[in-house]
Structure 1
Amino acid sequence: MTVQESVGAGVLAPARPEVEVYDFQRPTTLAREQSRALSVAFETFARQWGTQLTAMTRTLSSAVLDTVTMQRYDDYAAALPDTTAMVLCDVEDHLARAVIEFPTATGLSWVGRMLGGTGALEAPTRGFTAIEQTIIRRLVDYVIEDLKYSLGSLLPAELSVDTIHYNAQVAQAAATADFMLVAQFTVIVAEDRSTASIAIPADAMLPHLTPLGAIRPQGARPDPTRVQLDTVPVAVSLQLQPAIVGPADILGLVEGDLIALPHPQHRPLNVAVDGHVVARAAVGANGSRLACVVVDLEESK
C-alpha cells in the first residue's frame, strides 16, 4: 500500500519534523560567563538607581535586579502590560533602540513626589502631560547616565531619549526577530513596589563581553611584592567630591555660611585611600554602625 493509499484509508502519514536554522554568530542564550558579567553590571546599576530615586523623590528608595535574559523583541514586547510607559532611546550606530520601561502609575508617582506630593499610586488611563514628560525625561537622563557608568565598556555606544510610548504593540523599538538583553528590576519607593525593565539591543553589548574560552593561567607564582602589600593596613575614608575655594573664602567663613559642593545628589560617594579615589559607594549601615556599600570600582589610570 502506498503512502497516498494509507492516507486515503485514514492512516496519518508521519509528520515532518520542523527544523529551525540556528545562527551560531547570534546565539539565543547567554553563556554563563556572559550572564555573570551582565548580572554584576546591572546589580551595580540597580544600587545607583535606588540612590538616584532617593535623591530625586526625597523618599527612601531601592532597586533590585531580578533577572537578566536575552529575548527576541517580539517576546519581550508581548510580555509587557497592555498599558505601560516605554521610553525609547536611540543607540549610537544601531537601528534598534533601547527601552526603559516602567508602569505609568509608577512614573506619575515619581513625578508627584518630586513636586512635593504624596506620590499615591493610582491606575491612570492617560499618558503623561507635557510637563510630566519633561520631568520624566530628566529622570530618564539620570538613569541613562547611571546605566552608562555601571555598564562601562560593555556599552560603549551613547544613548539618548527619543520618544515615550504607552503601548508595547505600537512602540516598535526593534524588529520582531532582533535579540534584546533584558534586565528586570523590582523598584521600591517608600511602600510602593513596582516592576521595571531595561532592554538593550544585544548587538550593542555582546561583542564587548569577555571573550568565551579566555582561561586564567593556573599555577602562576604569586608576586612577592603584592603578597607583602596585601598585609599593610591603610586608612579608608568616604568623601564627597571636594570644592575648590580660595583662602579668602575660608578665612571669611562665619556660622551659617553655605559652601556649594560639586558632588551631584544622585551620585555615590568616593571611597579614598590616602587621598586616592579607588571606588564609589552608597551610605548604609552594619548593625548600629554606619557603613558603605561599594557600587563601583575606580578604573586604574
Structure 2
Amino acid sequence: MTTLQAPAPDIPAYDFRRPTTLAREHSRVLELAFETFARQWATQLTAKVRVLSQVTCERVAMQTYDEYAASLPATTAMVLCELEGVAPKGVIQFPTTAALSWVNAMLGGSGVPVSAERTFTQIEHALVRRLMDDALEDLRYSLGSILIAPIAVDAIQYNSQFAQAAATNELMIVAGFELRVGDSVAESTLALPASVLLPQLGETNPTSSADDARELVDAQLARVPVDVSLRLAPATVKPSVVLGLAVGDVLPLPHPHHRPFDLAVGGQPVAGAALGSSGSRLACVIVKTED
C-alpha cells in the first residue's frame, strides 16, 4: 500500500546578499505615492498621445542597482534622470517599441506597435524627452515631500548594461508599472536612489531618549481624557433610609445655598463652580480653584 505525499509548499528563495529590504511602513507609503504617479502618468499620456491610456503600479521593492539592471532587457529605453546634489541618477525604463508607438500616434498615425527595438531618431528623441519631462512633473507632484531633490531628464540610453546610472551596490527604490496605451501593453520600471527617498520617510521604530522621561510622562498625562463631575456636598444617611426611598420623598442635602458646587476629577475636588448655561446646554463657571 502506497501513501500519497502532499506536494511540497512553494517557498520563495531568500537572497542573503541583499543588504536590506523595505520596511512595511515605508513600503505602504511608497506604494500609495507610486499609485498616484501611475494615475497622473496615465492622464498625461492620454492627453499627449491622444490615445486612451492606463498605467498600473504592480510592485515596489528595494534592489541594488546591479540587480535592477540585470532584470532589464538588454536593449530598452532608459531615461536617466539627474537629481540635484546627488551622484546616483534616477531611471525611467520602458521598451523602445512602446515609445515608438506613442510617437506614431502623436504624429497622427494609428499607434501600431513597432516589431523591433531600435534607437530613436532626432525627432523621436525630442518627442519622447518631452513626454518624460511631463512625467517627471507628475512624479514630483505624486511623491510630494518624499522627493525634495529637484529632478530633470539627463539623457536617454538604450543598453541596460552600459547605462551606468549608479554604482552597482547602490540601493534603489524600484517601482514596476504596466502601461496600456490603446492596444499596446508594455512593462515599465522607475528606479530612484533609496538615499534620496528614505530620509523623508523617517525611522520605522523611533525611540525616545530616557533623559527627559519626566517631561514625556507629564506631556502624555496632559493629553489623557478624564471624567469631570459637578456635585453637591454629600449627605450621610442610614441604609434603612436608602432602602425606604420612594417617589416624592425629600432628602435634605447639607450644601449651603451660597456655596459653589464642587468640580471633581476622579472623585477629588479641584475647583468650585457656579451653575450656568452655554446655549441650550447646562454649563458651569469656575469661581475658585483648590490648591
TM-score range, shorter chain: 0.5 to 0.7
How far, CA to CA, are the matches of 1:86 and 1:210 in structure 2? 30
Alpha-carbon distance in 1 for matches of 2:174, 2:204? 21
Tell me whether 1:105 sits opposite 2:97 in the alignment. Answer: yes
1:268-287 matched pairs, under 5 angstroms: none
- Give CA-to-partner distance per residue, 1:105-128, whole Å, 9 cap, x none: 001011111111111112234200
After TM superposition, which residue ranges in structure 1, 4 or more long, deviate above 3 angstroms?
A: none
Residue 28 of structure 1 and its aligned partner are, at CA, apart by: 1.5
RMSD: 2.1
Q: Where does residue 31 of structure 2 map in the other structure?
A: 39
For 1:205, the equivalent position in structure 2 comes to: 197
Amino acid paired to 1:146: D
Equivalent residues in 2 for 1:1-301 (5 A)? 28-213=20-205
Distance in 1 (CA, whole Å) between partners of 2:115 and 2:78 is 16
Q: Which amino acid is 1:195 matched to?
A: E
Normalised to the residue count of structure 1, the TM-score between the two structures is: 0.62
Q: Is the 8 A contact 2:90 2:192 kept in 1?
A: yes
Instruction: Give the secondary-structure state (helix, strand or coil) at the position aligned to 1:166.
Output: strand
1:236 matched to which residue of 2?
A: none
Which whole-Å CA distance do the structure 2 matches of 1:103 and 1:88 have between them?
14
Q: Distance in 1 between matches of 2:170 and 2:31?
A: 21
Q: Distance in 2 between matches of 1:61 and 1:220?
A: 51
Report the 3-state secondary structure (helix = DSSP H, G, I; strand = E; otherwise coil) of the residue aligned with 1:165.
strand
Q: CA deviation at 1:103?
A: 0.3
Percent sequence identity is 52
**Rounded Cα–Cα distance in structure 2 between residues aligned with 1:21 and 1:188:** 35
Counterpart of 1:280 in structure 2 is: none
User: What's the offset of the Cα at 1:57?
Assistant: 1.1
1:100, CA displacement in angstroms?
0.5
CA–CA distance in 1 between the matches of 2:104 and 2:128?
11
Give CA-to-partner distance per residue, 1:180-211, whole Å, 9 cap, x none: 00000001011211100000011010101143
* Partner SS state of residue 69, structure 2: helix
Matching residue's letter, 2:49: T
8 Å contact kept, 2:97–2:118: no
* Structure 1 position 96, deviation (Å): 0.4
The one-letter amino acid paired with 1:101 is Q
Q: Give, as a single letter, the amino acid of the residue that structure 1 aligns with 2:86.
A: H
Looking at structure 1, the residues matched to 17 and 176 of structure 2 have their Cα atoms a distance apart, in angstroms, of 29
TM-score, normalised to structure 2, is: 0.64
1:239 — aligned with what? Answer: none
- CA gap of 1:213–1:196, structure 2 versus 1, over 3 A, is same
Q: Distance in 2 between matches of 1:126 and 1:29?
A: 35
- Secondary structure class of the residue paired with 1:42: helix
Q: Which stretches in structure 2 are left out of the alignment for 5+ residues?
A: 1-15, 208-219, 226-291
Task: Indicate how the Cα distance of structure 1 residues 37 and 125 shifts in structure 2: closer, same or farther if over 3 A, else same.
Answer: closer
Structure 1 Cα separation of the partners of residues 181 and 101 of structure 2: 9
CA contact (8 A) 2:95 2:188 kept: yes
The aligned length equals 197
- C-alpha change, 1:175 and 1:117, in structure 2 (3 Å) is same
> Radius of gyration: which is bigger?
2
* Deviation for aligned residue 1:213: 2.5
Structure 1 counterpart SS, 2:205:
coil
* Partner residue in 2 for 1:241: none
Distance 1:167 1:87 in 2: 11
Q: Could you list the runs of 5+ residues in structure 1 that have no partner in the other structure?
A: 1-19, 222-301
CA deviation string 1:195-236 (max 9, x = no partner): 000000110101011432259x9x966xxxxxxxxxxxxxxx
Equivalent in the alignment of 1:237: none
